[in-house]
Structure 1
Amino acid sequence: MNKLKKEEVSTEQKNNSAMTKFLNGIEKVGNKLPEPFMLFVYLAAFTILFSWIIAQFGVTVQEPGTGEEVAIKSLVSGEGLEFILTSMLDNFTGFAPLGLVLAMMLGIGLADKVGLLETAIKSTILKAPKSLVTYAVIFVGILGNIASDAAFVIIPPLAAMVFYTIGRHPLAGLAAGFAGVGSGFTANFIITGTDALLAGISTEVMQSMDSNIVVTPVDNWYFMMASVVVLSITGALVTEKIIEPRLGKYKGEASGELEQSTALEKKGFRNAIITGLVFIAVLIIAIAWPNSALRSEEGGLVPSPFLDGIVPIILFFFIAIGIAYGVTVKKIESTRDISGFMGEAMKDMSGFIVLIFAAAQFIAYFDWTNIGTWLAVSGAETLQAMNMTGLPIVVGFSVLTAFMNLLIFSGSAQWALEAPIFLQMFYLLDYHPAFIQVAYRIADSSTNIITPMNPYIIVVLAFMREYNKKAGLGTLISLMLPYSVIFFVIWVILLIAFALLGIPFGPGVDMYIN
């Protein structure tokens, strides 16, 4: 028996060693790439050259949905040069994550600089069972999509702080938080804006074929609720069995035990909680008020001005609790101190702002040339030409979507490209459009954390460098790849299980059209 156990341990060590070598290889190769700023500069230059080469062959593609014939546009042309010069500032200032991240960091940065976040962690997480911390981080990360993209800015750095505080590697916490937010983005216990957005696109596509078919925001609800539980467990195991053993013990500059909270800090934390509860209570009253401006015209919350304005609401929340704490601990004695702490937080984001300038140009060039649309449609047509049937073709569709997500980060934009092709194709095979929508969502979500088109990769990399100054894209990708691959595989297995066992994906929604 002991011999058998030793053999099992030996095999596990070999497997871990092989996995570690593979990930170390990815990190090594990835970190040989240029610095992120220059990498995006080179990618933009490559896009310019590639668009010129493809345009020489007169390549066109029929845009799904509209049926419009669009050509690959060359940036090496009069029109292209005009676009490069006239759009540069708009590409930068109009880059959605820029305003979101900077606005969020005004609030979060204030709470951090006055010491609230550190005290909150010491007063809560340190008292919780350490065995549950990893599961809690992944779970909160997944549910964080209710705050939309703001979750990418809030959860990963807080997760890193949590892990560091309890003596674990902060990069493992950051990776777990990013995995929960990014790869688990589409799952939740409640209906979110993503459900409504994708269902709206699916319904619009199906109306051209069968006006009786409507995909509603709750049609994937049961599956997504189950996904939260499955992915929380999966993400925690990946963190503890793969990521942390590979990272080892943290020996960075931030190492060292945090001191216990003082009586004044505890009082400040108490006042911050009271302020936060009052803020939430006022918000609930404002939402519940008759004919509230925060609800939609129909009285609902999905979609609604409340969800559209979730980022400013979260910003004001952090400002309120940050001020309450800062005033109590006497770090804020005048309004000048508030702007001072916010300014310090903005200084920490200077590197991110520089990176965003280059990244915004590359993404804008790639979108303007129609290269992404051409590659997406070509891949879809290839899969359709394989003429397969049954679950294998659905899994093949998910695999294709996962690869396409490396080129198109926006889930709604990618679904708008794929839905007109695949929903109609699978409808002819009697598959329910809501089922195909699920197959799309799991692939799109799984690869969010490894696609270079994800602008929040830059944000997470900036947070990562607070703990490892030498960290590069290779470091980040090697950390996130296990989550991406394993999440996708587990999700596909869950999809197949639901389908074969006849478990509804939502109210009245099965694999086939009834």
Structure 2
Amino acid sequence: MKLENLGEIKNSTTEIQKKSKFDGFLNFIERFGNKLPHPFMLFFYLTVILVLLSWALNLFDAKVVHPNTGETVAVKSIISGEGIQYILANTLTNFTGFAPLGLVLTMMLGIGVAEKSGLLESLMIRAITKTPKKIITFTVFFIGILGNVASDAAFVVVPPLAALVFLSVGRHPLAGLAVGLASTGIGFSANIMVAGTDVLLSGIATEVASGFMEGTVVSPLDNWYFMSASTFLLAIAGTILTEKYVEPRLGQYKGEKKSVGNTLSAMQLRGLRNSGIATGIFIAIIVIALMIPGSPLLNEDGTILRSPFLSGIVPILFLFFLVNGIVYGVTTKQIKSTADVPKIMTEAITGLSSYIVLIFMIAQFVAYFNWTNIATWLAVHFSEILETIKLTNLFAVFLFMILVAILSLFIISGSSLWSLVAPVFIPTFMALGYNPAFIQAAYRVGESSTNMVTPLNTYFAIILSFMLVYDKKAGIGTLMSLMIPYTIVFFILWSGLLMLFAWLGIPIGPGVYVNM
């Protein structure tokens, strides 16, 4: 045997060993995670720990100075007169006012009609027959990343549809679900369009930066070039990772949920045609409404940024799915009377009963976490650790991204976390000559990367319910083991892309560079 062949065998063996070690790590995560208590009980135990922690920190007079307001923020104890009054007065509103609950229920009412009428299934079949199988993964990834235009609604819409797409072509539905979750969650900040995230984050950055240097403005377009490039990078990387590692690791799908057929009847085709016409009319109405001067869908400046249209995207999407589902159902005779519509909605909500129960406990935990000020206390102290390093090169920015990725595991709201770290790090990096828009881009990379590997994510419950459709034994560990590869690969490549923009002097937005 030739020496070069021996070298190839040795390298191949080393690669297999490395892969096996990583597989072993993910298998451990899955086994460990699945041994955790039921999510309801897990959050109950976390709430008990939080109560005790709040008491201990309050006992030792834990407090921090809020970097934005300059006010002293003290940790409040739930085991106190004030804490008990808070629990009694807010238990119901913590639950009913929990934002993801209303979003999920509203979206599922509309999606339920579209699904039960057969529209979604027919769309999947149609898309599959027209889309080359080689680019299905990339297409789902790309669409999922763009889904953040619809804000958090993408978490509810894209993953289950992606699972259906994969199942329909004979691929593992959990791989499709993973693609949907990674694209909408980990790739949340990326987009080729200006979304509500750009508006929200740039507004906070402008307020902080102008306070440090008068007249400084961060526009919603200031990260556009970088985020557009990120969209293609993540879609390509996610496609390769899914097809070369994630899906092969899942093995062959042996669940009860069977693949849908690949042909449509004449009636189903008419349903899709009529639904397409309804879609065109719906979109035309929205576009015309946006073009009318003084439209109630626009903001006071007459633009779409920070407009009622963007803030009200969820009810608009609800109407979109509802109208299309009804049109398709009536055409295919799945909906024969007006009474059928609420019946279908009821069926859709019935399937969310376990999610609603779980949300009750999650809502209490999140509310207590915010009320005690522990979230603020943690964020400020983590921020100070990095600030004391006082590095002046890009490595400091990289460490900042790592810090944000860690904080994102505990503080799920991207705008809340940004409002906490921006007042500390924007002035710090501006003093070193960095553009605040560049620091904002770095924040978005770190915050998005760990979105889907923390049980504190408010959509964790609904995502688990999606998984249980295809794997009755799935648990928290299953979900985490699916998402960790994407988290690692995306963070490395995404942060590397940002560093490349910096080293090559490529603008991250129109006329916006790394340095001021």
- Show the counterpart of 1:239: 242
Secondary structure of 2:450's match?
A: helix
Deviation at 1:11, TM superposition (A): 3.9
Matched, 1:308 2:311: yes
Q: Offset at 1:298?
A: 1.1
- What residue is the counterpart of 2:420 in the other structure? 417
CA distance in 1: counterparts of 2:35 and 2:308, whole angstroms: 45
What is the identity, as a one-letter code, of the residue corresponding to 1:398? M
2:294 alignment counterpart: 291
RMSD of equivalent CA atoms: 1.3
Query: For residues 375 and 3 of structure 1, what CA distance do their matches in structure 2 show?
Result: 53
Q: Is the 8 A contact 2:121 2:260 kept in 1?
A: no
Q: In structure 2, what is the equivalent of residue 326 of structure 1?
A: 329
Matching residue of 2:513? 510
Q: What is the aligned partner in structure 2 of residue 98 from structure 1?
A: 101
2:465 is the counterpart of 1:462 = yes
Contact 2:191 2:228 in 1 (8 A): yes
1:407 match? 410
Structure 2 CA distance for aligned equivalents of residues 253 and 3 of structure 1: 45
1:62 to 57, 60, 65: 65
* Alpha-carbon contact 2:129-2:262 (below 8 Å) kept: no
Q: Is the 8 A contact 1:126 1:165 kept in 2?
A: no
The amino acid of 1:304's aligned partner reads: S
Matched letter for residue 382 of structure 2: G
Q: List per-residue Cα deviations over 1:75-130 (Å, max 9, x = no partner).
A: 11111111112111101000000000000001101111111111111111233111
Q: Measure, in 1, the Cα distance between the counterparts of 2:474 and 2:307.
A: 40
Confirm or deny that 1:151 pairs with 2:150.
no
Question: Which amino acid is 2:102 matched to?
Answer: G
Gaps of 5+ in 1: none
Residue 191 of structure 1 corresponds to 194
Deviations 1:37-75 (A, max 9, x none): 111111111100111111110111111111100111101
Indicate conservation of the 8 Å contact 2:169/2:259, yes or no: no
Q: Is the 8 A contact 1:209 1:424 kept in 2?
A: yes
TM-superposed CA distance for 1:510, in Å, is: 1.3
| 2:459 paired with 1:477 | no
TM-aligned CA distance change 1:78 to 1:9, over 3 Å: same
Q: Distance in 2 between matches of 1:255 and 1:319?
A: 26
> What is the alpha-carbon distance in structure 1 between the residues aligned to residue 271 and residue 190 of structure 2?
35
Q: Distance in 1 between matches of 2:294 and 2:425?
A: 40
SS in 2 for 1:290: coil
2:439 to 433, 436, 444: 436
Aligned to 2:48: 45
Q: Which moved more, 1:434-443 or 1:122-131?
A: 122-131
**Aligned equivalents of 1:505 and 1:114: distance in 2?**
45
User: In structure 2, how many angstroms separate the alpha carbons of the residues matched to 1:267 and 1:506?
Assistant: 45
Matched residue SS, 1:124: helix
1:340 matched residue in structure 2: 343
1:378 match:
381
Query: Structure 1 residues 151, 433: closer, same or farther in 2, change over 3 A?
Result: same
- Partner residue, 1:250: 253
Give the drift of 1:5.
5.4
Letter in 1 for 2:267: L
Residues 276/6 of structure 1: CA separation in 2 closer, same or farther (3 Å cut): farther
Secondary structure of 1:208's aligned partner: helix
- 1:250 is displaced (CA, Å) by 0.4
Q: Is it true that 1:175 corresponds to 2:162 in the alignment?
A: no
Aligned pair partner of 1:109 in 112, 118, 122: 112
Secondary structure at 1:500's aligned position in 2? helix
Whole-Å Cα distance in 1 between the matches of residues 316 and 270 of structure 2?
A: 25
TM-score with structure 1 setting the length = 0.98
8 Å Cα contact 1:16/1:242 also seen in 2:
no
Separation in 1 of the partners of 2:117 and 2:209? 53
Identical-pair percentage: 53
Q: Which amino acid aligns with 2:132?
A: P
Change (3 A) 1:349 1:55: same
Correspondence 1:438-453 to 2 at 5 A: 438-453=441-456
Tell me whether 1:269 sits opposite 2:278 in the alignment. no
Residue of structure 2 aligned with 1:213, choices 202, 211, 216: 216
Could you tell me which residue of structure 2 aligns to residue 128 of structure 1?
Answer: 131
Residue 13 and residue 302 in structure 1: after superposition, are their counterparts in 2 closer, same or farther (change >3 A)? same
TM-score, scaled relative to structure 2: 0.97
Q: Distance in 2 between matches of 1:488 and 1:457?
A: 20
- The one-letter code sitting in structure 2 at the alignment partner of 1:442 is V
Letter in 2 for 1:283: I
Q: What letter corresponds to residue 502 of structure 1 in structure 2?
A: G
- Following superposition, the deviation at residue 452 of structure 1 comes to 2.4
Q: CA deviation at 1:4?
A: 5.7
2: distance between equivalents of 1:171 and 1:126? 21
Asked if 2 retains the 8 angstrom alpha-carbon contact of 1:108 and 1:315, the reply is yes
Amino acid at match of 1:236: T
